[in-house]
Structure 1
Amino acid sequence: MLKIKEDMKSGEYKSVYLLYGEEAFLRDYYKKALTEKLLDPDLADFNYKEYTMDKPDTEDVAMFLSSYPCMSEKKVIFIKDSDIFYKCTESVREDWKSIFSDVPDYAVIIFSETNIDKRSALFKYVSEHYCVDEFPFQKEVDLINWIERYAKSKGAGISKDAAKYLIDCCGTSMYMLKNEIEKLASYCSAKKVITEEDIDICSCKMVESKVFEMLDAFLDKDAKKGGELYGALKLLKEEPIAINGAVFAKFNQLKKVLLFPKGTPASVIAREFGERDFLVKMWQRQADKTNLEKVNKILELSADTDHRIKSGLSDAWAALDVLIANII
């Protein structure tokens, strides 16, 4: 069970929570649930502060922490995508260590981070003294069950096969799936059942599938086809962040295969990572066209691309162009 879930059940809370990982939907869900447990909504304006910027001002954070809650037992600071657990200067790191070592009993700091480095001093410190929970993209079986439940809550039934088809079409992002389910439930409000045919009519295929097709071309050394597909993504005005995320997802799949000796049965790898055998077999065929050194390089470049785009250090498409050039 997630540590944050255990704390909400017991009512005994840590002073710092670090929620990280690719699945933003779950990070947001648990942040909201924890905040609602800690604060009276009528007094939230006095006892809640939010930072959604890169590396918030530590002096401002410390000042908010220094004052007692207003007619409440707790006050909450929420910090999103600060990147302090990914990259920060020594002075920023020391400022945060000072804050973490002396959080008042009445305060709770919640971090929601896309990018972290488990080797960083701040990540290790918070892991040792407080609560850290990871929220990766969910396994297919868990997503299918969630899709069934969420569709039912919107007044529509959906079979497991149709739920899987929706994932194949739209990807594994729960926010994307949530939006598609709501759209489909509305479309199917009369018959109250969502079918694969309805998904074909209503849902827009995820950028992930388009990016995967492009990467397959590059892995096949077909730079012309890959370049045309990349150009099409630009013409369609797809979001660079989404394209980069799909690149990271694909190379992360290849890395899972390449971590095992060549010839390892797909069933062994699938069992290790909770994946389906047929998917691993497909990844194995693709992994034969590259190597672990290049895959690790692309994953590092992709993480850096994400950081540069989100922090405004580079033009989004320019940063993505550099990444694609290294893949070809």
Structure 2
Amino acid sequence: MKRIEKDIKTGEYKPIYLVYGPEDFLRQKIKQSFRDALAGSDELNYTYREGPGTDEDEIRILAGTVPFFAEKRLILLENTGWAKKGAEGLVNDLDALPDSTVLVFIEREADEKSPLFKAARERGICVSCEPPSETDLLRSLKKSFEQEGYEIEPDALEMFLARCGGNMNTIACEKEKLLAYTLDTKKIRREDVETVTHQSLSDRIFDMVDAMAAGRPQEAFRLYADLKALKEPNGRIMGMITTQVGRLFVLRELDEKGLSMKDMQTATGYNYYAVKNSLPRCRALSSREWEKKWRRCLAYDTAHRTGRMDETLAVEMALIEVSLR
């Protein structure tokens, strides 16, 4: 990312850039940076194509064309699949292309053995867009608030990231709301985060299962009533309860084996916040006890899906059984 920022700042571009990886926000940010720096409102010297149906022959012709009254021609290609296979002809043309041509590939996936990947690595820049670690997220987000002239309390920052789930697009949107809400004080507290940020359905289910796991059925039923008021389907609620109880079972089993939080993330594929927030609660019971509760939830989920039990009754029975000690 820093190498790309440097090229954009100096105006000294490589012939080819490959930006790939699972973090959509970063991919789109880099894509827009190239668009703003090299094209702007210039449509004559800018080409954008998307999808596996992109015509390679057309791109080869465009790439070999000098720009019209401009220094650079930007060709931006997204999710073509060429970073995994194909585009051999375009790769072979690279040495013969005008210095004014800048090829930028934005891809979700890439194969290091593909001709395009090798060419980008040898003659240009490859950037892998991976989700940032929890530590990096906390640090960078705290810095971004400070650059805006805001002070955010540590527990407020942690809650903010937990609610956003590490999703960079969500973080960007929720941050703007939070900045506007605290404009007068420029100080962000936990209460502000609770008031302003959106609580997703999965967050609400987590709170409900958390109350169930703590043996607080009254609170669990109150939260369930809130979900019904929001017109969330009972079938969906039942399925998500089952998933969350299953998560507590798996984490408790790994916890009993002595795995670290990082190893639990690797073994389960759960994100940092899911593991961190679930661990304290899963330790309330043994893995065997959690397995029993998970299997009961599975039974209720199956019963309502097959029409053998009313959806509302299935959810309420699960709430009661998971809450029992």
How far apart in 1 are the matches of 2:59 and 2:194? 48
1:62-141 superposed matches below 5 A: 62-86=60-84, 93=86, 96-103=87-94, 104=97, 105-141=99-135
How far apart in 1 are the matches of 2:59 and 2:75? 8
The structure-2 alpha-carbon separation of the partners of 1:207 and 1:23, relative to structure 1 and needing over 3 Å to count, comes to farther
- Give the CA deviation at 1:167: 0.8
How far apart in 1 are the matches of 2:91 and 2:195? 51
Q: Is the 8 A contact 2:39 2:46 kept in 1?
A: no
- In structure 2, the partner of 1:191 is 185
The structure-2 alpha-carbon separation of the partners of 1:41 and 1:126, relative to structure 1 and needing over 3 Å to count, comes to closer
Instruction: Provide the secondary structure at the position in 2 that maps to 1:56.
Output: coil
- In structure 1, the partner of 2:23 is 23
- In structure 1, the partner of 2:57 is 59
Deviation per CA, 1:107-161: give whole Å up to 9, x if none: 1111112233445454344334432111111112221222223334555321333
The structure-2 alpha-carbon separation of the partners of 1:150 and 1:10, relative to structure 1 and needing over 3 Å to count, comes to same
- Give the CA deviation at 1:18: 0.9
When normalised by structure 2's length, the TM-score is 0.60
The structure-2 alpha-carbon separation of the partners of 1:268 and 1:146, relative to structure 1 and needing over 3 Å to count, comes to closer
When normalised by structure 1's length, the TM-score is 0.59
- Percent identical across equivalent pairs? 25
The structure-2 alpha-carbon separation of the partners of 1:160 and 1:120, relative to structure 1 and needing over 3 Å to count, comes to farther
- In structure 1, the partner of 2:167 is 173
- In structure 1, the partner of 2:40 is 41
Instruction: Provide the secondary structure at the position in 1 that maps to 2:155.
Output: helix
- Give the CA deviation at 1:22: 2.2
Instruction: Provide the secondary structure at the position in 2 that maps to 1:45.
Output: coil
How far apart in 2 are the matches of 1:280 and 1:118? 36
Instruction: Provide the secondary structure at the position in 2 that maps to 1:101.
Output: helix
The structure-2 alpha-carbon separation of the partners of 1:186 and 1:119, relative to structure 1 and needing over 3 Å to count, comes to same
1:144 aligns with 2:143: no
Give the residue type in structure 1 aligned to 2:117: F
How far apart in 1 are the matches of 2:181 and 2:58? 48
How far apart in 2 are the matches of 1:263 and 1:118? 36
How far apart in 2 are the matches of 1:211 and 1:49? 45
Larger radius of gyration: 2
How far apart in 1 are the matches of 2:29 and 2:165? 19
How far apart in 1 are the matches of 2:109 and 2:262? 29
Q: Is the 8 A contact 1:148 1:159 kept in 2?
A: no
Q: Is the 8 A contact 2:261 2:276 kept in 1?
A: no
How far apart in 2 are the matches of 1:102 and 1:150? 42
Q: Is the 8 A contact 2:51 2:80 kept in 1?
A: yes
The structure-2 alpha-carbon separation of the partners of 1:120 and 1:213, relative to structure 1 and needing over 3 Å to count, comes to farther
Number of equivalenced pairs: 247
How far apart in 2 are the matches of 1:31 and 1:186? 27
Q: Is the 8 A contact 1:3 1:132 kept in 2?
A: no
How far apart in 2 are the matches of 1:266 and 1:75? 50
Instruction: Provide the secondary structure at the position in 1 that maps to 2:93.
Output: coil
- In structure 2, the partner of 1:306 is none
- Give the CA deviation at 1:58: 1.4
The structure-2 alpha-carbon separation of the partners of 1:212 and 1:136, relative to structure 1 and needing over 3 Å to count, comes to farther
The structure-2 alpha-carbon separation of the partners of 1:3 and 1:101, relative to structure 1 and needing over 3 Å to count, comes to farther
- In structure 2, the partner of 1:162 is 156
How far apart in 1 are the matches of 2:4 and 2:116? 19
Deviation per CA, 1:266-294: give whole Å up to 9, x if none: 27859x9xx79x749949x89x99xxxxx
Name structure 1 gaps, 5 residues minimum: 217-227, 238-246, 290-328
- Give the CA deviation at 1:172: 0.8
